[in-house]
Amino acid sequence: MRRLWAALILGLLVVLGGTGPAHAAGATDVVVEDAAGALDKNTLLPGIDAINFNEPTKVAIYARNGEYSDNLNEEVLAFARAKHPEWLSADGQKWADSLFVFALDPTGRQVGTYMGENRKVSLDQQESIQEATKDLFREAQWTDGTIAGVKRAAALMNRPWYKNPAVWGVSSLVGFAGIVTIGSNLYIRRLYGTRSKHSLADGNASYANVTMDLEVTELNARTIPDSSRYGHLVLEKYRDFQNHYGELTTLANQANDLTAKEKQRKQGALTLKRYAAEAARLDGIDDVIADTNTFLNMGSGWEAAWDRQLAPLKEDLAGITQLLAVKHAVPKSATALALTSFAAQTLKDIDSWGAQLSEGPSKPEDALDKILETRKELTGLLRKHSETVIANYAKNNTEASLMRAAMRTPKAGSLRNSSTNSILGTVYPANQFWSVVGFSSGFNSGRSSVQEARNPSSSSGSSTGYGSSGGSFSGSGSSSRF
C-alpha cells in the first residue's frame, strides 16, 4: 500500500511539473507606487519579472504608511480612484480585468490582495496569498515579502484543474495530505534557499572587503593616537575586530561549505544570515578605523572623513520635518517647535564647525565633541517629544506604558540606522543616542501595540469590505494584519 501511495504521489508531481509551464506567462506590466519608501525596486522588479503566471497579468504594487485602524481595502480603492483609474473596470465597480493589486502598509501592519474578475480567487486562497508574506513582513523584509505574495498569487490565479490539490482529494485524502505536505516543504525550502543565496553573496562581498583591506586597516590602527579619547575608543574596537576576524574566517568557511540542501533548511539560512551580519559589521569597523586615523591626524582626505562623521546627524536633522508631518505627531506642540528650531540652528552651526577645522582654531577632537553634544541634545528633545505624542495618543496609563516600551527599545534609539558608519555610532552603545528614524519606528510600533490592545478581535482574520467611501464597489479582494 505504501508503494502504491508513493507511486501515486510521484506520478502526480510529474504531471504537475510536466504540464504546468505550458501556459506560463510573465507579468505584462509592473507598476510600483511606494509611498511608504519601503521597497527596493532593484530587487523587487527582477523578482516579479522572474515569476510565471498562469495567464498574462498586470501587477500593481502599492505601499503606504497608514494607521493600524485604517480599512486598507478602502484606502487602496481611494488611491486607485485618485491616481490610477485604469486599475478599475469601465463602470468603476470592480477591479480591471487581468489585474492583480498587492498592497502593503508597514506601519499599519496590513497586507491586501485585489484582482480583476477574470483573475479572482476564493477568500481562502486570498488568505493563502497574504499568509505567504507574513513571516517576512514580521521581520521587516518588505521587498522579499512582496515578491513572495505575488508569487503565491501567480500560482493560484487561473490555476489549471490539474494543479488543484482538491481534484486529487477525491481519489485519496492520504495522498492529498502528502502532496500538500510536499508542496509546503518545497515552498519553505525555496524560501530558505533564496534567503541563503542573498546572505551568502552579501557576506562574501563584505568578507572580501575586510580581507583585502586587512593590512591597510592594521597600518591605520597603528597611527591612531591612543592619547585621544576617540582614538582610544576606536582602538578598543580594533582589538575586538582582530579577535572576531578569525571567528569570521571560520564562519565564512562554514557558510561556503554548506551544501545546497543545507542552504534550504532553517539552520543553514540562520547560519548564513549571521555570517552576512557579522561580515558587514567588521566591514563597517575597518572603514571607521581608516576615518579615525585620517581625521584625527588631519591627513589627506580628512574633509571626506569629516563629512562622514556629520552624515548621521544631517540625516536626522533633515528627517525632523517629515517626522512632525505624520498623523498624531502633534506638530504645534512646544516639544515639536523645539525640535524644528534646533534643526534649523544646528544646520547653520555645522558649516562653521568645518570652517573652524580648516582654519585651525578647532581640533578634530573638539569637532567630534560638538557632534557628541549635539546628539545628546537631540536625544533629549526627542525623549521629551515622545512624551508629548504618548500623552496625545494614549487614553490611559496602560496604553501609555505600551507606547513608552516600544519607544525605548534599542532599535528606536539607535544611531546605527544611518546609512553611514561613523566614529560615534561605532564606539558608543546602540541605545546611547536617539535617532529620528528610530523615533519613527518606535512611534509606529507603539501605536500598533495600542491599536491591538483596543481591538483584539481585529488582530487576525480577513477584511473584505471597502468602507463607507467604497459605495457600491464590489471588486474581489481582502486584507489582513501581520
pTM for this one? 0.64
CA distance 246 to 243: 6
What does the alpha-carbon distance between residue 446 and residue 450 come to, in Å, rounded to a whole number? 6
User: Could you tell me if residue 287 is inside a domain?
Assistant: yes
Percent residues over pLDDT 90 in the chain: 63
User: Which of 256, 276, 297 lies at the terminal end of a domain, its last residue?
Assistant: 297
> For the ranges 159-163, 222-226, 340-344, which has the lowest average pLDDT?
159-163
470 vs 220: which has the higher pLDDT: 220
Q: Which three cell numbers stand for residue 21?
A: 509551464
What per-residue confidence (pLDDT) applies to 18? 45
Based on the fold, state whether residues 210 and 143 are members of the same structural domain.
no
Q: Identify whether residues 154 and 200 lie together within a single domain.
A: no
Clarify whether residues 291 and 341 are in a common domain. Answer: no
User: Is 468 part of any domain?
Assistant: no
> Are 231 and 287 members of one domain?
yes
**Alpha-carbon gap, residue 38 to 133, rounded angstroms:** 15
Which range, of 4-18, 59-73, 237-251, averages the lowest pLDDT? 4-18
**What average pLDDT does range 434-439 have in this prediction?**
89
Q: Tell me the mean pLDDT in the region 225-233.
A: 93
**Is residue 279 domain-shared with residue 332, that is, in the same domain?**
no
How high is the pLDDT of residue 177? 53
User: Is 467 within a domain?
Assistant: no
Question: Are 91 and 139 in a shared domain?
Answer: yes
* CATH number, domain containing residue 77: 3.10.310.50
In a domain? residue 304:
no
HEC letters along the chain: CHHHHHHHHHHHHHHHHHHHHHHCECEEEEEEEECCCCCCHHHHHHHHHCCCECCCEEEEEEECCCCCCCCHHHHHHHHHHHHCHHHECCCCCCECCCEEEEEEECCCCEEEEEECCCCCCCHHHHHHHHHHHHHHHHCCCHHHHHHHHHHHHHHHCCCCHHHCHHHHHCCCHHHHHHHHHHHHHHHHHHHHHHHHHHHHHHHHHHHHHHHHCHHHHHHHHHCCCCCCHHHHHHHHHHHHHHHHHHHHHHHHHHHHHCCHHHHCCHHHHHHHHHHHHHHHHHHHHHHHHHHHHHHHCCCCCHHHHHHHHHHHHHHHHHHHHHHCCCCCCCCCCHHHHHHHHHHHHHHHHHHHHHHHHHHCCCCHHHHHHHHHHHHHHHHHHHHHHHHHHHHHHCCCHHHHHHHHHHCCCHHHHCHHHCCCCCHHHHHCCCCCCCCHHHHHHHHHHHHHHHHHHHCHHHCCCEECCCCHHHCCCCCEEEEEEC
d(CA 401, CA 292): 40
* Tens digit of each residue's pLDDT (9 = 90 or more) over 149-184: 999 999 999 887 555 555 444 445 555 555 555 555
**Given phi > 0 = left and psi -120 to 50 = alpha, else beta, which region is 452?**
alpha
The predicted pLDDT at position 4 comes to: 45
Q: Among 1-15, 283-297, 388-402, 409-423, which is the least confidently predicted range?
A: 1-15
Higher pLDDT, 470 or 391: 391
Reading the block at residue 31, the C-alpha cell is 507598476
Per-residue model confidence as pLDDT tens digits over 407-418: 886 555 555 555
Do 246 and 373 belong together in one domain?
A: no
| Residue 165 to residue 355: CA distance in whole angstroms | 71
Check whether residue 316 and residue 437 sit in a common domain.
yes
Interval 286-293 mean pLDDT:
95
* Amino acid 256: pLDDT: 96
Residue 360 pLDDT > 80, yes or no?
Answer: no
Among 54, 299, 223, residue whose Cα is nearest residue 154: 54
What pLDDT digit, counting tens, does each position of 98-139 carry? Answer: 999 999 999 888 999 999 999 999 998 999 999 999 988 888
- Count of structural domains, the chain: 3
Show which of 163, 186, 214 is a domain's final residue.
163
The pLDDT, as a whole number, for residue 170 is 47
Q: Judge if 46 and 119 occupy the same domain.
A: yes
Mean pLDDT for the stretch of residues 255-273: 92
State the sign of the Cα–Cα–Cα–Cα dihedral 199, 200, 205, 207.
Answer: positive
pLDDT at position 193: 85
Q: Is the pLDDT of residue 16 over 70?
A: no
- Do 6 and 126 lie in one domain? The reply is yes
Both 158 and 10 in one domain: the answer is: yes
User: What is the pLDDT, as a whole number, of residue 146?
Assistant: 96
Domain of residue 43: give its range. Answer: 2-163
Q: Is residue 178 assigned to a domain?
A: no
Is 98 in contact with 107 (CB distance < 8 Å)? no
Least confident of 211-225, 289-303, 443-457: 443-457
Q: Is residue 461 part of a domain?
A: no
What are the grid coordinates assigned to 469, written together? 467611501
- Looking at per-residue pLDDT, the higher value among 29 and 450 belongs to 29
The answer to whether residue 181 sits within a structural domain is no
Domain boundary among 230, 265, 297: 297
pLDDT higher than threshold 50 for residue 19: no
Mean pLDDT score, 44-71:
92
Average pLDDT over every residue of 197-214: 94
* pLDDT value for 253: 96
Are 327 and 412 part of one and the same domain? yes
pLDDT band at 26 (very low <50, low <70, confident <90, very high): confident
- 17 band by pLDDT with thresholds 50, 70 and 90: very low
Q: What is the mean pLDDT of the chain?
A: 86
